[in-house]
Every structure is written in structure tokens, then in C-alpha cells.
Structure 1
Amino acid sequence: MERPSADVSCRVAWADDAPAVAALQLRARAVDLAALLPPEALAADAVDAEAAWRQVLGRPVDARVRVLVALERNRVVGFAITSPATDPDCDPVADGEVLELTVDPPERGRGHGSRLLQAAVDTLAADRFTRAVAWTNAADDAVRRFLDSAGWAPDTAHRELDLDGSGSVTVKQVRLHTAISSEA
């Protein structure tokens, strides 16, 4: 007897996904940034977040900016954003970037991140990028291990982000990269 398989997939996000993506992003940030920011800094208006996502999903600034969603059945459990890389030392024709890869905290460890990362790399390859880059918090060992296990490695670039605009809360980040092929 064959075991039933999970109903999981990834696809390009639709404007109707805005409420689910916004809510997921707010939940994930509350968990992921809790050690870095005070609760009041993490408080965000869900209505404003949803409106911002509707704008992004309805009218991307560049045809190569894509938002992908990971689904379990018809429920959004993660999302990724891909685009041309914008760092000054990157080639916007050859280098694509995974701007964000987020999986809902209760859904982590179930394969959604791996499927989403592969879909993001496939999307970048379809857009004819030959290298992918992603920034991650230097102290986030779990994300670095995840990307390392998928063939990504640090490329020596680093930066410090000001999380609250005052300069008092900063996070160090490292850039990881991987070669990708646009051959089908």
C-alpha cells in the first residue's frame, strides 16, 4: 500500500496572497528578531503590512523581482523574494539575489525552506542569472548551516544593518553565494 504524500508546493505569489504573506512575515519577525529588538519595535500594523504586500505583488518594480510562496495544501507557509543583486560589487545581469526567505516558525524543519530555496534558485536561473547571493545575520548559525548544506558559501562580503534607525541596534550580516546554471 502506498503512503499518501504531503500536498506541498511552491509557486509565484498572487496579489490575493498579500494577507497571508504579511501575517507570516510579522509572525516570523517577532520570533527571529526577538533577541535583537524590543517588543515595541517589532509591533507592526498588519493592515499596513498587507497593503505594502499588495503593492509589491500587484506591481513589482522590476519584471525580475519575484515573490514565491511555499504552500501546504492551499495555506501559505513560507515565502521568498528574488531579484537582481543590488550590491555595488555585484553584476546585476549575472548576479541574482534571494532578498528574503522566510518560513512560518511552526512550519520550520518540514522541508518548506528547502523547496522554497530550490524554487528561488530555479527562478533566478530562468532569469539567466549565473550566481545567487543572499545576506544572513552573522550570528544565525541555523540559517548559515541550512544554506551551507544547500551548497552556499560565504564570499567575504559583510555589512552592518541599523535595525531601528538610531544606530543603537545593529546586526552584522555576511553574504553567501552559490553558482547556478541557466541550462534547463
Structure 2
Amino acid sequence: MADAAVRAATPDDVQEIARLHRDTWRTAYRNLLPEEVLGGLGDTTQAWAEAVEEGQVLVATEGNHLVGYCVVGQAPADEVARADGTLPADAATTGLVSILVEPRWGRRGHGGRLLATAAGTLRDKGNTRGVAWVPEADPASTGFYAKAGWESDGTVRTLDAGGRPLREIRVSGGLTLLLAD
């Protein structure tokens, strides 16, 4: 494998992050989301530019290729609330991550490097645990987080995906992650 790394995203990465976001969703979620939702993914360049400017995006690279990204930051209250709306005692020290690796670059450790780097970033900011939302019907994502020790905490949300419900589960885990060879 060529040199692989994780680094903070720069403004020069924004176009490629937006392309990776769009193309990966169209590939990875084609069985989960209606075609009109995937086909209607618009230009997200401005949203990505703002997230990069705020320092919320990490990117995974292999050689000269940007192969994945992770959005990492403090979890908003509605992302950590229990199903009844109450907040757990550690809500103020819970981070939120969202990882996406382009499928053709999958199974090469990029997701693990992104998660470990995100965990370190959150830990450095005083967080004690992290959460992520994944489609319930996506065994690759749920398996990935399970291997890192992040498990479902029992909270489920249902999103409207173009008239089709999309159930997501919230996974949660510690921030002391080590990369294995």
C-alpha cells in the first residue's frame, strides 16, 4: 500500500471532498436510499468549505489521493439526547463523528485511521466519548464501529429519505483508540 495518512482538511480539498461525498453516497447507499434522493444530491461545495474553515474535517489520503473524510466536533444536544429527550450526564463531553471512505479504497485501514485521529482530536478538547449515526441496514458501517468498540446505545431515529423511512442507530464508544498494524 502507498503512504496512507490522516490530516486536517484544507480549502484545496473542498472540491474533492464534495465529489467524494456525492459519489460515495450514490454508490454505498444505492440500496438504502431512493434513486431520486441520490440523484438529487446537489452541490455541497459551500457547506464543505464552511466545515473545513471551521476546522471540523479530517481527510484520509493514500499517496496523492483523497480517499475519505471525517467530520468531527462537539455533539449538539439533540445528537446525544436519549429517546425521551433527556440528556445524559456526559452530554457536555460527548463528540460527534461522521466518517465516509470511498468504497474503492475500503478495507485498507483508512476508516480506522480517521476514527482514531478523530478520537484523539475529541480527547484533546476534553471529550470523554464519541457518538456516530449509521444506517441500521448498513452492516459494513455497524461492523466497522463494533470493531473499534463502539456499540449501539439503543437510540434509533428515522429520517425521511424521499418518502422512504431510513432508520439510523446511534453508536457510542470511548476515545482511547489505538491503531493496530
Match of 1:121 among 92, 108, 119: 119
> Residue 57 of structure 1 aligns with which residue?
52
> Residue 20 of structure 1 aligns with which residue?
16
Contact 2:22 2:41 in 1 (8 A): no
Change in Cα spacing, 1:83 to 1:35, as seen in structure 2 (3 Å) is same
Choose 1 or 2 for highest CA Rg: 1
**Distance in 1 between residues matched to 2:151 and 2:47, nearest whole Å:** 32
Contact 2:32 2:137 in 1 (8 A): no
The Cα RMSD (Å) is 1.8
Contact 1:27 1:105 in 2 (8 A): no
TM-superposed deviation, 1:120 = 1.0
Q: TM-score, normalised by structure 2?
A: 0.84
Contact 2:34 2:161 in 1 (8 A): no
TM-superposed deviation, 1:37 = 2.8
Any idea what SS the aligned residue of 1:93 has? helix
Match of 1:85 among 55, 75, 85: 75
> Residue 145 of structure 1 aligns with which residue?
143
TM-superposed deviation, 1:40 = 3.1
**Distance in 2 between residues matched to 1:44 and 1:125, nearest whole Å:** 37
Contact 1:85 1:97 in 2 (8 A): yes
Question: Unaligned 5+ residue runs, structure 2?
Answer: 82-86, 177-181
TM-superposed deviation, 1:92 = 4.5
**Distance in 2 between residues matched to 1:180 and 1:56, nearest whole Å:** 22
Contact 1:96 1:129 in 2 (8 A): yes
**Distance in 1 between residues matched to 2:112 and 2:156, nearest whole Å:** 24
Percent of aligned pairs with the same residue? 34
Supply the AA of the counterpart residue of 1:36. L
**Distance in 2 between residues matched to 1:44 and 1:147, nearest whole Å:** 29
1:76 aligns with 2:70: no
Contact 1:84 1:92 in 2 (8 A): no
